Amino acid sequence: MIPSIGDDTRADAPIDVLIVGGGLVGGTLAVLLANAGLAVTLVDRADPAAGLDAAFDGRASAIALATHRVLAAAGLWDRLGPGASPINEIRVADAGSLLFLHYDHSDIGDAPFGYMIENRNLRRALYEAQRAARNLTVVAPATVAAMDLSGPRAALTLADGRVLAAALVVGADGRASQARALAGIRATGWTYRQTGIVCTVDHERPHGFVAHEHFLAAGPFAILPIRGEPGREEHQSSLVWTEREDLAPAVMALSDDDFLAELALRFGDFLGSLALVGPRWSYPLSLLLAERATAARFVLAGDSLHGMHPIAGQGLNMGLRDVAVLAEVLADAKRLGLDLGSPAVLEDYERGRRFDNTLMLGMTDALNRLFSNDVAPVRLARDLGLAAVNALPGLKKVFMRHAMGEAGELPRLMRGRNV
């Protein structure tokens, strides 16, 4: 018999938390909660093994110092091996201007600002950690057909007829979230009419673990240090080249030689000669904000809740901050024997994330508007702004702590404590 939403047996299913979407955010949450003793089921429409393919995702993510502790708590850091590269300095400059902003981690301590991690390495670490987690069931590839949040337990019906019931459903299925739509949560947003072109280059001179952001008329051009092969650890960088969406297809269609020539014009020659490593990827850039983070027995986390411009490398950081707060709230509720899907528990999560996420969305949007244009008075104002921050040590230290993700009230996991 195919179970239905009304099937009584679902009330006995021992799932605490059902996560829809096993990307970097949903996958990390699943491991953390399972390791904290909650019974977790993760549903993804894709085969998790497909994410291990090098061609799946060419991006590398800048992970702030405080956020990396969430990955460490999930046991992912140790599984990355030597894959992460520290970010010890950050240089921000407007193309054609002599004014710039330079952060050096040694001005405020020994720790780096954060780390660059290739997404493919993080996916592999997640895959291994999920296989090792005892309380975690992965149902994938699987398609969700319906969701019922009206009963004493949330119920998810899969396209093959299986019904999964849990105290709480987490929608972590990305920007076009089906779970968000099924929960009746609306989202607003817009396209930036920009495309993020991503590739890896090998360069003649060492990067010295410095991250660069150049502001060009079409948008930011980021040069981010990653760890190369043994012996050439400091000779590879991941690039995010923001281009107008109408020009990006032509750039993507260039031959490797022509692409490299265009790239070199934007990159400059400070790291010597360049060579392309692997293919290029392109990502349409947009903003998205869900009107709320929760519904009855339901929460959103990661890009399904907030999709932002990669100008400050914050999308995954914010998703992992969601994870840190949600894991803390749910682990506390479990210890106290509370209903994990009760309004009081969900309210703690909503309150814990609303301000931080909205602030970061607003900041990344404003930065992109300020820097992705060539209007002379705006250029002058922003260049003076960069130089002013650079010249004011007190203010600069505040911004450096923000870059580390250390500012504000942090959940336990981001302070290096257990969930």
Ligand X SMILES: Cc1cc2nc3c(=O)[nH]c(=O)nc-3n(C[C@H](O)[C@H](O)[C@H](O)COP(=O)(O)OP(=O)(O)OC[C@H]3O[C@@H](n4cnc5c(N)ncnc54)[C@H](O)[C@@H]3O)c2cc1C
**Minimum gap (Å) between residue 27 Cβ and ligand X:** 7
Per the CB < 8 A criterion, the answer to whether 400 and 87 are in contact is: no
Contacting range for ligand X; rule: CB under 6 A; set: 22-30, 225-233, 339-347, 368-376: 22-30
Question: Is residue 158 near ligand X by the rule CB under 6 A?
Answer: no
User: Under 8 Å CB-to-CB from 384, ≥6 apart: which residues?
Assistant: 99
For 115, counting Cβ atoms within 10 Å of its Cβ (0-12 exposed, 13-18 middle, 19+ buried), the class is buried
Q: Provide the b/e sequence for 271-307 (b: ≥16 CB within 10 Å).
A: beebebbeebebbebebbbbebbbbbbbbbbbbbbbb
Among 3, 22, 220, 411, binds ligand X (CB under 6 A): 22
Question: Is residue 240 near ligand X by the rule CB under 6 A?
Answer: yes
Question: Is residue 196 near ligand X by the rule CB under 6 A?
Answer: yes
Among 172, 183, 311, 400, binds ligand X (CB under 6 A): 172
Which parts of 351-390 interact with ligand X (CB under 6 A)? Answer: none
**Minimum gap (Å) between residue 63 Cβ and ligand X:** 6
**Minimum gap (Å) between residue 43 Cβ and ligand X:** 6
Return the number of the residue (68 or 235) whose C-beta is nearest ligand X: 68
For residue 26, give the DSSP letter: H
User: Under 8 Å CB-to-CB from 90, ≥6 apart: which residues?
Assistant: 101, 102, 103, 113, 210, 211, 212, 213, 403
Beta strands in 79-209 (DSSP E): 85-87, 89-94, 100-104, 114-118, 136-139, 144-148, 154-158, 163-171, 187-203
Return the number of the residue (85 or 178) whose C-beta is nearest ligand X: 178
**Total binding residues for ligand X by CB under 6 A?**
32
Among 17, 18, 24, 290, binds ligand X (CB under 6 A): 24
**Minimum gap (Å) between residue 61 Cβ and ligand X:** 4
Here the tokens at position 73 are 């708590």
Contacting range for ligand X; rule: CB under 6 A; set: 44-52, 88-96, 227-235, 368-376: 44-52
- Residues forming the site for ligand X (CB under 6 A): 20-26, 43-46, 59, 61-62, 144, 172-174, 178, 196, 198, 240, 283, 302-303, 310, 313-317, 319
